[in-house]
Structure 1
Amino acid sequence: MKKKVIILVVIALILLGGGAGGTYYYAIASKYINTEDARIQGDLRAIGAPGAGKLIEWNYKEGDSFNKGDVLGLVETTPAHGNTPAVTQEIIAAEEGTIIQFNGIKDQMVSPSSAIAMSANLDQLYVSANLQETEIADVKVGSKVTIKIDAYPNTTITGHVERLGLGTNSSFSLLPTSNTTGNFTKVIQRIPVKISLDDHKGLRLVPGLNVTVKIEK
C-alpha cells in the first residue's frame, strides 16, 4: 500500500511539473517570438580603384577605421597614349567605416571593377533575423527585441524592429525551387526582419556573429 501511494505521489508530481512547464511555455509563446536564425550584419562596402593601374600605396590595415574623405591609398595609372606620363590618383573614402578585409598587394594591378578592400561602419550594425511566415503577422515595426549573442553568452542587449522584409528569402534566391515531379510538399517560408541595436554595451561586434532574438508581440 505504501509503495502504491509513493507511485501515485510521483505521478502527481510529474503531472504538476508538466502542467507548470506547459503553462510557462504557453505564457512565453503568447508574448514573444523567438528565433536562433539571426545574426549581426552591417552594410558592406567594396572599395575599388578610381582607374585601372598599379596600387603603389595603401594606408590602412584590417581593423583600422577611417573618415569620409580620407586618402586610403594611391593608384598609378598609365594613360592610353604612350608618350603621356603616368598619373597618380587617390583612393578617397566615400564615407566613414572600418576596413574588415583587405585583398590588395602593393604594386599589383587593380581596376574599378575589382574590390581592393571591404569596409563596414561598425557603429551602424544591426541584426538580420529570419522569421517563419506564420509568425510575421505578430511583428510590428518598433517592437522591442531582446538579443543574446553567442560570442558573449553572459550579456544581453536590446533593440527594436526597424523593417519587415517585403518578400521571403526563397523569392530572392538565384536558384528558385521549382516543382517538376508533380508532388508538392508545403515548406514554411521565412521572411527577413531588420532589427536596430539600442546599445552595443561596449561589446566588440562584427558582421556575421550568431544571435538569438526574442521579439515582443
Structure 2
Amino acid sequence: MKKKIIGLVVLAVVLVGGGIGGFYYYMQISKYISTEDAKVQGELRAIGSMAPGKLIEWNYKEGDAFKKGDVLAIVETAPAHGNVAATTQEIIAPDNGTIIQTNAVKDQTVAAGVSLLMSTNLGELYVTANIEETELTDVKIGNKATLTIDAFPGTVFTGRVEKIGLGTNSSFSLMPTSNASGSFTKVVQRVPVKIALNDYQGKRLIPGLNAVVKIER
C-alpha cells in the first residue's frame, strides 16, 4: 500500500512537472520567435588604392581605429624620373572604423582596386537572425528582441528589429540548387532579419560571434 502511494505521488509530480514544462514551452513559442541561426555582424568595407604604385607610407595594423578623413596610406603612383616629380595618392578613410584584417606592408607594390585592408565600425555592430519563412509574418519593424551571445554566457542583450530581408538566404547563393533529377523536397527557407542592439552591456563584441535571438511577436 505504501509503495502504491509513493508511486502515485511520483506520478503526480511527473505529470505536474510535465504540465508546467509544457505550459512554459507553449508560452515561449506563442510570445517569441526564436532562432539559434544568428550572428553578430558589421558593415565590412574594403579599402585600397585607385591606382597601382608603391606604398610609401603605412603605419597601421590590425586593431587600429581611424576616423573619417584620416590619411590611411600614401601610394607613389609614378616614380620620379629626372626633373619629373613623383605622383602620390592619399588613401583617405571614407568613414570611422577599425582595421579587422590587413596584409599591407610599407614599401610594397600595390595594384589598383586591390584591398589593402578590411574595416568595420565596431561601435555600430548588429545581429543578423535568420528566421524561418513560416514565422516571418509575425516579424515587424520595431519588434523588441532579447539576445544571448555564446562568447558571453549569462549576459542578456536587448535590441529591436531594424530591417527585414527582401529575399531568402538561398536566393543570394552563388550556387543555387537545381532540380535536375526531377524529384522535389521542400526545404524551409530562411530570411535575414537585422537586429539593432540597444547597447553592448560593456562587452567587446566583434563580427562573427554566434548568437541566440528571441523576437517578440
Q: Does 1:153 align with 2:149?
A: no
Q: Name the residue aligned to 1:56.
A: 56
| Gapped regions of structure 1 (runs ≥ 5) | none
User: Structure 1: how far apart are the matches of 2:176 and 2:127?
Assistant: 25
1:50-92 Cα offsets, whole Å, 9 max, x none, are: 311011221222111111111111111127x998442222111
Match of 2:143 in 1: 143
Which residue number corresponds to residue 106 of structure 2?
Answer: 106
Secondary structure class of the residue paired with 1:38: strand
- The gaps in structure 2 that reach 5 residues or longer are none
TM-score (norm 2): 0.94
Match of 1:16 in 2: 16
- Between the aligned partners of 2:186 and 2:50, the Cα distance in structure 1 is 49
- In structure 2, C-alpha distance between the alignment counterparts of 1:88 and 1:191, rounded to whole Å: 45
Structure-1-length-normalised TM-score: 0.94
Letter in 2 for 1:108: Q
Is residue 54–residue 107 contact of structure 1 (8 Å, CA) maintained in 2?
yes
The amino acid that maps onto 2:37 is: D
**Aligned partners of 2:51 and 2:113 also within 8 Å:** no
Which letter does structure 2 place at the counterpart of 1:156? V
Letter in 1 for 2:143: S
1:17 aligned partner, one-letter code: G
Secondary structure of residue in 2 paired with 1:152? coil
Give the whole-Å Cα distance in 2 for the aligned partners of 1:117 and 1:186: 41
Residue 89 of structure 1 aligns with which residue? 89
Looking at structure 2, the residues matched to 71 and 26 of structure 1 have their Cα atoms a distance apart, in angstroms, of: 56
Q: Do the aligned residues in 2 keep the contact of 1:50 with 1:90 (CA within 8 Å)?
A: no
Take 1:186 and 1:23, find their aligned partners in 2: how far apart are those partners?
Answer: 31
- What is the aligned-residue identity percentage? 65
* Cα displacement (A) at 1:11: 1.7
Structure 1 equivalent of residue 175 of structure 2: 175
Alignment length, in residue pairs? 217
